[in-house]
Structure 1
Amino acid sequence: MEYPFKNLMEDDSRYLKSFQLFRERSSEQQCMQNFIRGILSDILASIGNGNGCLNVMGVGSGAGNLDLEMFSQLSLTHPGVSVHSEVVEPSSEMLENYQDLVSKTPDLEHVKFNWNKMTALEFEKQWREKNPQKKMDFIHMIQMLYYISDPGATVSFFRSLLNKNGKLLIILVSGKSGWVKLWNYKTKMYQNPISHSVTARDMKSYLDAMGITNTYYELPSQMDITECFNEGDEKGELLLDFLTEVSDFSKTAPPNLRSGLLDLLRHPDCSTEVDGRVIFNNSLGVLVLEPDH
């Protein structure tokens, strides 16, 4: 049955509130920061061709927090090297937040930004028209392939942009994450969900089948969703909005759909209970790809 839900992505203000709460309740940012400062730092040391400049691209960069972490590691692994950064982000508010963060962050004089307010597909079309020869040393695609109808084709395009020693970083939820069960449930809620069920393991299987060399890392992450079970709780309702991608889900969903969702969120395949708190499995998978030449 199709329900008259409002897409959360079309409600910028509520989306940003729910996303910020997700970041506060989740260990996702911390686990990615640890990965960037550890494993990724060693990977970044191998990119570049020694010409004093690195071309970097963030596809779906959001508010830029993780991008700046990567720039910091690039400064450590490639001291004195300038960086040209292509930022691709369709949300006006996210892009403004990124620009504001850059203005408040010292030691970014070596980074030149080119802002692209557009989707990955729009950017691909523009790039093919304007920059057919330009190559990138590092491209990252963090938690954005869910919104692409053909993730394999999109990955193939951006991988084709890599320089000889370039790397493409992809981060998605892992196959063990509670998001997998949640996505399956959301197909009952609406015929055309905002995001698509694609995990890092799905992408790895695709890459392996295509004979594309890749390295896989698992990043354990969790999110406290206890407030979701307190009816009328403002933070709980924002978290439910984020999990369902529906604006004001509790106010628009029929009681049986809401109760079914809450039962699913408590299921051991999605969450565990620790000291009276409901902890959602938000684990991530990371893929690192080499160039296609």
Structure 2
Amino acid sequence: MEARTKSTIFEGSAARVFQFYLQNSDEHTAVVRFLEDHLPAEFKRMAADKNELAVLGVGSGGGEVDVQILSLLQSTFSTLPITADIVEGSVELLANFKALVRKTESLQKIPFTWHVMSSEDYIKQINGLKTYDFIHLIQMIYYVDDLTESIKFYHSILKKNGSLVIIIEKTGRSWDTLWRTSEELEDNETPRYRSSEDVLASLKTLGLKYEEYSIPNTFDITECFDPNSTIGQGLLCYLTSTPDFYKSFTPQIRSDILKLIRSKCSTEKDGKILFDNCLSCVFVHA
């Protein structure tokens, strides 16, 4: 889950916390591995009888996953022209994305349109005037004001045979347990917590057909239990969306949160404490 701030804009320390988490977890690796296994067949279904493909990434962050998706799409259809629209509120993260594109020679063939704005602003701007073959909302639906209306809109701008992919925390797993159990982590400065059950409820309300898959993944949080560990403190910042975990809570609250993380959100193996970072991937068809 991307580091939470009240705004959807990730700059400065918020962007750094997010990047720190990515460097110390395998979340993107797990997502990319899953997509490499499942997207080629989905791409072939969606591209039937088409001369070009239009892709929309919303809340794409630094572009690490987008670059892999676009590269996979290119390798699946070497002759089809591809265009990409990217919606991301953070100038800082978008600069990272653009740098990745410059380093990836094959992506030089793709025309990119960059939208530095929130999902809500993009919806107002586009107003249904553009349609896409493939749209992905990866770890970003925590930041939309109205989940059902957002899904409805993005589904409405899919072309024939198009696909909408939503990746979010899995209901009943560790993120879900942490954020629904610990009242101290919920305040007016954090976006509303959502998990896969919220997405599925919206899809059912809209009457849309979907397929849900799990993306299993864990990451090592052993150092979170060492107050002198820089890595541990950085990960706790991310896990709790708190700038300084040890200074932000009383000793008793700190102890309660750490106990919850260790006993309800993690498993121990070979001397390591592993946080269960299982995700849900939902494919929604046009």
Q: Does 1:178 align with 2:174?
A: yes
Match for residue 88 of structure 1?
Answer: 87
**Residues of 1 paired with 2:196 and 2:248: CA distance?**
32
Amino acid at match of 1:19: F
Amino acid at match of 2:239: L
Q: Does 1:276 align with 2:275?
A: no
Match for residue 212 of structure 1?
Answer: 208
User: Which of 223, 226, 229 is equivalent to 2:225?
Assistant: 229
Match for residue 3 of structure 1?
Answer: none
Paired residues of 2:10 and 2:89 also in contact (CA < 8 A): no
User: Which of 142, 151, 154 is equivalent to 2:150?
Assistant: 154
Q: Does 1:286 align with 2:246?
A: no
Q: Indicate the SS of the match to 2:117.
A: coil
- Post-superposition CA distance 1:105-145 (Å, at most 9, x none): 111132110111111011111111xxx33210000000000
Q: Does 1:248 align with 2:273?
A: no
Amino acid at match of 1:229: F
**Residues of 1 paired with 2:244 and 2:8: CA distance?**
12
**Residues of 2 paired with 1:122 and 1:249: CA distance?**
33
**Residues of 2 paired with 1:42 and 1:201: CA distance?**
26
Task: Quote how far apart the aligned CAs of 1:198 are.
Answer: 1.5
Paired residues of 2:11 and 2:93 also in contact (CA < 8 A): no
Q: Indicate the SS of the match to 1:164.
A: strand
Match for residue 138 of structure 1?
Answer: 134
Task: Quote how far apart the aligned CAs of 1:215 are.
Answer: 0.6
Match for residue 44 of structure 2?
Answer: 45
- Post-superposition CA distance 1:24-49 (Å, at most 9, x none): 33232122111121111210112236
Spell out the pairing of 1:91-102 with structure 2 (5 A cutoff): 91-102=90-101
Change (3 A) 1:104 1:189: closer
Q: Which 10-residue stretch deviates more, 192-201 or 81-90?
A: 192-201
Q: Which 10-residue stretch deviates more, 151-160 or 174-183?
A: 174-183
- Post-superposition CA distance 1:238-271 (Å, at most 9, x none): 111111112122222222221111011012x311
Q: Indicate the SS of the match to 2:254.
A: helix
Q: Does 1:261 align with 2:265?
A: no
Paired residues of 1:26 and 1:221 also in contact (CA < 8 A): no
Which residues of structure 1 form unaligned runs of 5+?
1-5
Change (3 A) 1:208 1:275: same
Change (3 A) 1:52 1:278: same
Over the matched positions of the two proteins, sequence identity in percent amounts to 33
Instruction: Work out which structure has the larger RCO, using CA pairs closer than 8 Å and 6 or more positions apart in sequence.
Output: 1
**Residues of 2 paired with 1:41 and 1:10: CA distance?**
32
Spell out the pairing of 1:2-81 with structure 2 (5 A cutoff): 12-48=11-47, 50-81=49-80
Task: Quote how far apart the aligned CAs of 1:152 are.
Answer: 1.3
Paired residues of 1:178 and 1:271 also in contact (CA < 8 A): yes
Amino acid at match of 2:241: E
**Residues of 2 paired with 1:147 and 1:214: CA distance?**
22
Task: Quote how far apart the aligned CAs of 1:14 are.
Answer: 2.8
What is the TM-score normalised by the length of structure 1?
0.90
What is the TM-score normalised by the length of structure 2?
0.92
Paired residues of 2:217 and 2:279 also in contact (CA < 8 A): yes
Q: Does 1:197 align with 2:189?
A: no
Q: Which 10-residue stretch deviates more, 21-30 or 112-121?
A: 21-30
Q: Which 10-residue stretch deviates more, 254-263 or 46-55?
A: 46-55
**Residues of 1 paired with 2:158 and 2:33: CA distance?**
25
**Residues of 2 paired with 1:114 and 1:103: CA distance?**
14
**Residues of 1 paired with 2:47 and 2:270: CA distance?**
48
Matched residue count? 282
Q: Indicate the SS of the match to 2:273.
A: strand
- Runs (4+) of structure 1 exceeding 6 A deviation are 6-11
Paired residues of 1:136 and 1:163 also in contact (CA < 8 A): yes
Amino acid at match of 1:258: R
Q: Indicate the SS of the match to 2:106.
A: coil
Which residues of structure 2 form unaligned runs of 5+?
none
